[in-house]
Amino acid sequence: MSFTRTQHYWELTHPYQVMPCEGSNWLISQTFPENYIVAHESQVDNSSEFLNSTPHRRHPGITSLKTVQLPQHLEQAAQILINQAPGSQLAERAQSLCNFLWSRKRATGDRAIQERAVELEKRVREREQQRAEGPLEQSRLEEKVRKQVLSELRKTTYHWKPLRYDEELSLIYLAARLDGGYAAVSRALHEIKKRVPDFAPQTLLDFGSGTGTVSWAAHTMWGQSLREYVCVDSSASMNKLADLLLRGGSETQDPHIGGVYFRQFLPVSPKVQFDLVVSAFSLSELPSASERLSSIQTLWRKTSNFLCPHDAPCPKLSEKIQLPCNFPQAYRPLQLRWRGP
């Protein structure tokens, strides 16, 4: 039986992309006035002897973070909450949610669908006009075009549906993703720490904070300096669950980490900024590309110190299949003891 799984963190593409780029410098930049590039490694010439003569572990891009394990307090609290859960078949439902989340695509949004419909309409109309042997009666042509466009759109449009993280789904999400999510975030934060060992954030903003894994991972990394963790999640149930996890599964206990605040909306004032801004696995929960973009812009404005996009376009995103660099991270799965059905 294997005790580790691996978690890719490429979904954490925004707001920070801690992504060593192939054939390029390390591209982690901070919003220092001069757009300071923190870690700079020279480009490796793949045709030289470098790759053969240097041990694999020393190649640029190889970073080491041992198998990630959840903090003991978090694991214990999760177990308590699972034991108290009223529902049945939690294990099966957690597995189904996992499968669903991995296969889920991002929402395109109405505007993108409209643009596609216009493009399709033009193409179908031209095709029908070419096919027709004589002049087509206008109303018949319109009807044909309409039907074909609708049928094509139905076949090719992904029907994205929002997930409503109520009390039940939030708990299922915890069972499904607490361990993998924590591992992915830990790895991303580790990449920052590795490149900028002196970085000591005092404030953190986590957008779409869910069960609070970002706060736990950031606390493990920078617990000495962090004094304020602002968790923003539109789901009141998620916020309650994250708070309970901090309190060891019981409302009456003190939180294990001090200075964690839960909100359902982002702080409105543009003056409120944070040293570190994170959004993990949440942008894909937004209903359109335009909402994702505007959220990223808002988060960018809320960053006083560390938001790490590339300072140049990622070469991987200019390829036909747009897949940013991604790294597997081993983690120890949450060892939940399930109650019977």
Ligand X SMILES: C[S@@+](CC[C@H](N)C(=O)[O-])C[C@H]1O[C@@H](n2cnc3c(N)ncnc32)[C@H](O)[C@@H]1O
* Residues at the interface with ligand X (CB under 6 A): 165, 177, 181, 208-211, 213, 232-235, 238, 280-282, 285-286
For residue 287, the minimal CB distance to ligand X (Å) is 8
Is 13 or 213 the residue whose CB approaches ligand X more closely? 213
Is 203 or 282 the residue whose CB approaches ligand X more closely? 282
Angle at 170 between CA 167 and CA 174, to 5 degrees: 140
For residue 83, the minimal CB distance to ligand X (Å) is 21
For residue 74, the minimal CB distance to ligand X (Å) is 12
Q: Which residue has the tokens 């991604």?
A: 326
- 310 phi and psi angles, rounded to 5 deg: -60, 150
Q: How far is residue 216's CA from residue 147's CA, in Å, rounded to a whole number?
A: 52
For residue 133, the minimal CB distance to ligand X (Å) is 53
CA 90 to chain centre: 24
Residues 181/5, Cβ–Cβ less than 8 Å: no
Is 125 or 300 the residue whose CB approaches ligand X more closely? 300
For residue 205, the minimal CB distance to ligand X (Å) is 11
Is 18 or 145 the residue whose CB approaches ligand X more closely? 18
Q: How far is residue 253's CA from residue 246's CA, in Å, rounded to a whole number?
A: 9
For residue 130, the minimal CB distance to ligand X (Å) is 46
Short-list 178, 212, 186, 213, CA closest to 90: 178
Short-list 213, 206, 305, CA closest to 263: 206
Q: How far is residue 338's CA from residue 341's CA, in Å, rounded to a whole number?
A: 9
Shortest-Cβ-distance residue relative to ligand X: 210
Coil, strand or helix: which one is 281? coil
For residue 325, the minimal CB distance to ligand X (Å) is 20
- What tokens does 205 get? 């903003």
Q: How far is residue 34's CA from residue 333's CA, in Å, rounded to a whole number?
A: 42
Is 43 or 297 the residue whose CB approaches ligand X more closely? 297
For residue 11, the minimal CB distance to ligand X (Å) is 9
Q: Are strands 328-331 and 5-8 parallel, antiparallel or unpaired?
A: antiparallel
- 262 phi and psi angles, rounded to 5 deg: -105, 135
Is 24 or 211 the residue whose CB approaches ligand X more closely? 211
Is 21 or 192 the residue whose CB approaches ligand X more closely? 192
Q: How far is residue 179's CA from residue 184's CA, in Å, rounded to a whole number?
A: 9
The string of DSSP codes covering 158-204 is ---------HHHHHHHHHHHHHHHHHHHHHHHHHHHHH-TT---SEE
Is 26 or 306 the residue whose CB approaches ligand X more closely? 306
